Amino acid sequence: MIESAAPLRTSTTLRIVCLTSVAGDPTAERLASWLTRGGNDVSVVVPSGGVDLDTDAADAYVAIGSEAIGMVAERPEIAPFLHWIIPHYDDPVEAALAERLEAESVRLPRRILFFLEADRARFEQRFPQCSRKTVVLPGAREAAVNGAGHAGTVLRGLLARERRLGHTFDPPTRVVAAGHDFKFFDELEQFFQRRRQVTLRFDRWEAAGRCGPHTDRLLDWADCIFCEWCIGNAAWYSRHKRDDQRLVIRFHAFEERTQYPTELDIDAVDAVFFVGDHKRRSVMARFGWPEEKLYVLPNFVDVPQYDRPKRPDAAFTLGVVGIVPMLKRFDRCLDLLEQLRARDLRYRLRVKSRMPWEFSWVWSRPAEQKHYQECIERINTSPLLRGAVRFDPHDERVGAWFRDVGYILSTSDTESFHLAAAEGMASGAVPIIFDWGGAASIFSSRWIVRSVGEAALRVDQLQQNMEREIEGRVAQDYVRAQFDTPEVLARLENTLFRPSATLQHA
């Protein structure tokens, strides 16, 4: 087993390197002065002539402007520690960034920071694949003249968040991430890469039950195995791992409906993570797994990325992300909108989702077709719905979309977590969450409703009492405390690197 970890570095001082293309650049010097106010060790360098950019040289790197970004864009070893800052965004900057972002060798940085919300919006329109990386430093343009102010505080806070993810542990640990689908693994990949004593390699399975070409070799190499999904990968590793290797599994939801959990040797497993306690308890009862090995690890929410100013129309705008399949209960969204518009015609519904006919497994089912055809007919014929429902493209620009949403809906019959609801809350939208199993244990009973009528009354009361913005801030604070990325990863860290530590099981 992995030995107990060395003590955490307790110093709050950050070692920050500001990278600029020109010596004496005033923007770089100004940013450096903002950062030193927190007592940090800050240096300004031009990344050329053999300057050491090894990850041990700093806790964070800040590349300022498109030219400096270009100098370090192809340095993958510092990408998890790197923040791009784009003080001005215009056509030449966009062209320079396009050249970098379209190169296969370029890895995206930890964050991309802007001085103006308008600049970020234009950037996200041009590069939607980067939308989940962007943050605005509020008041940064004004701070350039009048001092750091809030912009400097935000910048220091962002870098301090990342420092929390970069503690050094002994002994060096070799981690294999095994699975067939890593679409939910981005934050975890950053988590492992920021550990300077951790080497991460991927065992990419060809399918749920078919191992990859290097599985045997990676098994021999690893100290710790992290199985993404509890399917064939987890079952195989549980039967083949050595006693001195640590095996950790992240269980999502669909696995419970497969045969793979019955093939797992649970005695060989050190920990299984679930996104909610309701799912943990269901699996424990169904498969008889020991409770002491089962932990709750919520989904990650990058709160700063969603913390954006709302537009005026958000006050009367409901939002829903993902309406497929029909257990998402899109019909409830329409029911709620009808009831609200019967009181005030300013209410609208925004829908960000793929359409059901884009999924062959959905559209081939008569019941699914019937459900969506009836919903579309209602939208087109109901006097209260006609013209009040807008369908938006399914893309990565979720943070920008939430600027127009004042209420985020979770109307499903069942969910394992419902990340979209948490992301909406992070934006300051008020959650309206129907009582699907486990909802209260994840989101608190404060925002749970049991009927469309109760949901309409809740929205109406918030509007009448002018409390929507206040309730939105309460929801945002809840997500920040429960699901913000550093908070969740700290829990994971305790299990992966501190085997003697314990986690709460609920």
CATH number where 367 lies: 3.40.50.2000
Has residue 237 been placed in a domain? yes
- What range defines the domain where residue 89 resides? 15-164
Select the more confidently predicted residue: 9 or 387: 387
Confidence at residue 2, expressed as pLDDT on a 0 to 100 scale:
27
Q: What pLDDT, on a 0 to 100 scale, did the predictor assign at position 295?
A: 92
> For position 3, what pLDDT does the model report?
29
Angle at 413 between CA 409 and CA 415, to 5 degrees: 75
DSSP letter (8 states) at residue 210: B
Mean pLDDT rounded to a whole number for the chain: 88
- Is 314 part of any domain? yes
Residues 293 and 308 placed together within one structural domain of the fold = no
What is the signed CA dihedral for 461, 464, 465, 466, rounded to 10 degrees?
110
Based on the fold, state whether residues 82 and 205 are members of the same structural domain.
no
Distances (CA, A) of 271 to 1, 248, 266: 13, 5, 9
pLDDT in the model for residue 39: 83
Name the region of 331 (left: φ>0; alpha: ψ -120 to 50; beta: rest): alpha
Domain-ending residue, one of 300, 333, 357: 300
For residues 315-329, b (16+ Cβ closer than 10 Å) or e, as one string?
bbbbbbbbbbbbebb
Domain boundary among 112, 143, 164: 164
| pLDDT of 105 strictly over 90 | no
What are the C-alpha distances in Å from 407 to residues 128, 291, 312, 324, 433?
Answer: 24, 37, 13, 19, 10
Q: How far apart are CA 159 and CA 111, in angstroms?
A: 10
Range in 24-33, 347-356, 386-395, 402-411 the model is least confident about: 24-33
Read off the pLDDT of residues 187-233 as tens digits, 9 standing for 90 and up.
888 888 877 788 999 999 988 888 888 999 999 999 999 999 999 99
Q: Which two tokens stand for residue 251?
A: 């269980």
8 Å CB contact between 106 and 81: no
In the chain, the number of structural domains is 3
- Is the pLDDT at 494 greater than 80, yes or no? no
Whether 4 maps to a domain, the answer reads no
> pTM value?
0.86
